[in-house]
Structure 1
Amino acid sequence: MTALTNRYDFALFFTVKDGNPNGDPDAGNLPRMDPETNNGLVTDVALKRKVRNYVNMLERPGYAIFIKEKEPLNKKIAEACEVKELPTFQNTSGKWETKLAKTRSQEDIRLLQEWLCAQYYDIRAFGAVMSTGPNAGQVRGPIQLGFARSVEPIMPLELTITRVTDVDKEEGEMGRKHIVPFGLYVVHGFINAKLAEKTGFSDEDLDLFWTALRDMFDFDRSAARGEMAAQDLVIFKHDSALGNAQAHRLFERIEVFRKSGEDTVPVGDPRSHNWPPARAFSDYEIRVNDTDLPSGVTLLRPW
């Protein structure tokens, strides 16, 4: 498979209903928020985890996942060393000789990265830090995501629940559950074709990424996350590897509107302040100005 040759900038819109899309462990697992605006936040790490979990279900050669829960990374790097017949720098007691590993040549690191990129989809897509243990250096991936942010402020609810935590107790205990009644979030993403050349990220890999963005929430269900769903994907495809326009200028063409009955106003318009709160994606409308697009830029809306 040949590496990607086009740059892409994209915006993914998704909704959450009666769930916690990304709890903050430093705040009692409350939904993450911008304290100045009360807009909800979802980290890039949380979204990439969902993509990884989706791709992992394919169980196809060349589409393994490098970063998994409860799976040490050093063993996978050591496997690459064994395949390439390079030292793992592991002593007889099983510990990694860190000082020796740091002396590994750049050519050997290149060979290890080439093999690891071919085996693991998430390294090809997102990159990885592999300078620990046997030391395979660092790979910068072509796909970069920002934080997702709700288009309007959210109002998290803290609900009291009963739960059973001790099998020797007949009665339950009181607990807390945090939810966002409803929120529409948007995350901006960027795909660098020049970095794709280095990792081998291909058009086939990209097609799988778009599919993962569409379906990842359907395979990430839990009582805590409520109902989450991908709603719209706006893609700006560039004719060249370096791109034909600045990403932020392209994102300015995307506008989100609030709807109530027959009335439609831009999000944040004072006229909508007395409207009922949004409780469905149908309360919004996403518009993209596709007139006079910069030369070499194509608008795609695959869903």
Structure 2
Amino acid sequence: MAVATGEILFVKCVKDGIPNRDPLNDSDARRIFGEEDGRISLSDVSIKRDVRDYVMAKYPDGGPEKRYFVWCREERAPDGKLYDRKKLADLILERAGRDKEVNKEKALLDSAFDMRVFGAVFSVKEQNFHRTGPVQFGWAHSLHPVETKYVQGTVVMPSDDEAGQGSIWTTYILPFAVFAMPGVINATIAMENNMTDDDVELLLEGLWKGTLHRQARGRGLQQPLLLVHVEYNDPFFRIGYLEDYIALEPEKERWLGSTPPTQLSEVALDVQKLARVLGPESPFANKIKRVRWWKNPELTLKGELPGTENKVW
């Protein structure tokens, strides 16, 4: 079955960390809206890394039919040197048993999940191709203002130049934040890239479980909260900006006050507008093929979403 044009809305939260730091701002949270707005953001690159790392962990050998290798990854030679993109591609084809094929582009698309789904720019000597990804994510933005905290501590182990003294570390953290990220799936490009419905299912699973799988101290403790997948009958249609139809309670003033929420039980996600735009009374109802969603049982929803609630992975 051909992949349907669709949209994704993914909501997640983080405690005691910063999921995506800005190296140009002393590794504080990324801010693209300005100080008065107060929201912080996560790049689409960060979200894709979560998915890629999960797919690599689930299918280290390429999985069924050797179709789930990941090209955009870090792998090193025995001497510790990083492999370049050509070597990474060669290793995929070798491990998939397709290194003798003449059409390297097709062989790589059939073997590398992230090339099919997210696209690739491959330019190495005589091998050149550019594939746009049928799946594109927007940036994830917090649904409320965020004030990060600058903290420091000490490490017992001394560094070489500190004469036996422990090291001092400093970092920015945020106590608690909720983010919403939009995504789109283009049916025409999916067909060109040989992306399948199985790829879509793994992508959705990777968004949810990849958020749980990928860990680093500075990223904080993250939890997926809500994932909505909308498919359309018309391959050239989408509602767009589904994240604009949800809101987090309490409102902005509480987040800027002296006692902002610090845990999931203190917030609720209002999905009433989203329910109306996706429901049977929506002006877009005849365009919608299917609505599916997955919900963290600890999340409080205000409103009832249409479509089918699926069991989380």
In the superposition, the TM-score normalised over structure 2's length comes to 0.77
1:71 is matched with which residue?
Answer: 83
**Alpha-carbon distance in 2 for matches of 1:51, 1:272:** 30
CA contact (8 A) 2:254 2:260 kept: no
CA contact (8 A) 2:144 2:255 kept: no
Matched, 1:14 2:31: no
Structure 1 segment 153-302 matched on structure 2, within 5 A: 153-163=145-155, 164=157, 166=159, 169-243=163-237, 245-248=238-241, 250-252=242-244, 254-259=245-250, 267-268=251-252, 276-282=259-265, 283-287=267-271, 288-290=274-276, 291=279, 292-293=281-282, 294=284, 295-297=286-288, 298-302=290-294
**Alpha-carbon distance in 1 for matches of 2:29, 2:168:** 20
Deviation at 1:46, TM superposition (A): 0.9
Deviation at 1:135, TM superposition (A): 2.6
Higher Cα Rg, which structure:
1
**Alpha-carbon distance in 2 for matches of 1:232, 1:39:** 19
Residue 39 of structure 1: SS of its match in structure 2?
coil
Deviation at 1:22, TM superposition (A): 0.6
Q: Counterpart of 2:239 in structure 1: which amino acid? A: Q
**Alpha-carbon distance in 1 for matches of 2:158, 2:123:** 41
2:43 is matched with which residue?
Answer: 43
Deviation at 1:201, TM superposition (A): 0.9
- Match of residue 137, structure 1, among 115, 123, 129: 129
**Alpha-carbon distance in 1 for matches of 2:254, 2:224:** 28
* Cα distance change on mapping 1:82 and 1:154 into 2, 3 Å: same
Q: Could you report, residue by residue, the CA deviation over 1:4-39 in whole angstroms, capped at 9, with x for unpaired residues? A: 1x1111111011100011111122211112324221
Structure 2 residues without counterparts, runs of 5 or longer: 75-81, 296-313
* Cα distance change on mapping 1:161 and 1:48 into 2, 3 Å: same
Residue 138 of structure 1: SS of its match in structure 2?
strand
Deviation at 1:82, TM superposition (A): 5.3
CA contact (8 A) 1:74 1:134 kept: no
Task: Report the more deviating stretch, 161-170 or 208-217.
Answer: 161-170
**Alpha-carbon distance in 2 for matches of 1:127, 1:63:** 14
* Cα distance change on mapping 1:128 and 1:113 into 2, 3 Å: same
CA contact (8 A) 2:145 2:255 kept: no
2:141 is matched with which residue?
Answer: 149
* Cα distance change on mapping 1:50 and 1:273 into 2, 3 Å: closer
In the superposition, the TM-score normalised over structure 1's length comes to 0.80
Deviation at 1:212, TM superposition (A): 0.8
Task: Report the more deviating stretch, 231-240 or 46-55.
Answer: 231-240
* Cα distance change on mapping 1:71 and 1:14 into 2, 3 Å: farther
* Cα distance change on mapping 1:134 and 1:162 into 2, 3 Å: farther
Deviation at 1:48, TM superposition (A): 0.4
Residue 130 of structure 1: SS of its match in structure 2?
strand
**Alpha-carbon distance in 2 for matches of 1:207, 1:62:** 14
Residue 137 of structure 1: SS of its match in structure 2?
strand
Q: Counterpart of 2:269 in structure 1: which amino acid? A: E
CA contact (8 A) 2:176 2:262 kept: yes
**Alpha-carbon distance in 2 for matches of 1:73, 1:213:** 25
**Alpha-carbon distance in 2 for matches of 1:273, 1:84:** 59
Q: Which has the higher contact order (CA 8 A, sep 6+)?
A: 1
Matched, 1:126 2:100: no
CA contact (8 A) 1:77 1:134 kept: no
Deviation at 1:272, TM superposition (A): 7.5
**Alpha-carbon distance in 1 for matches of 2:243, 2:28:** 29
**Alpha-carbon distance in 2 for matches of 1:42, 1:215:** 18
CA contact (8 A) 2:158 2:165 kept: no
Q: Could you report, residue by residue, the CA deviation over 1:38-68 in whole angstroms, capped at 9, with x for unpaired residues? A: 2111111111011000000122121000011
Q: Could you report, residue by residue, the CA deviation over 1:102-135 in whole angstroms, capped at 9, with x for unpaired residues? A: xxxxxxxxx3221111010000100011023443
Deviation at 1:285, TM superposition (A): 1.8
Q: Could you report, residue by residue, the CA deviation over 1:183-226 in whole angstroms, capped at 9, with x for unpaired residues? A: 10111100001100011111111111111111112211222111
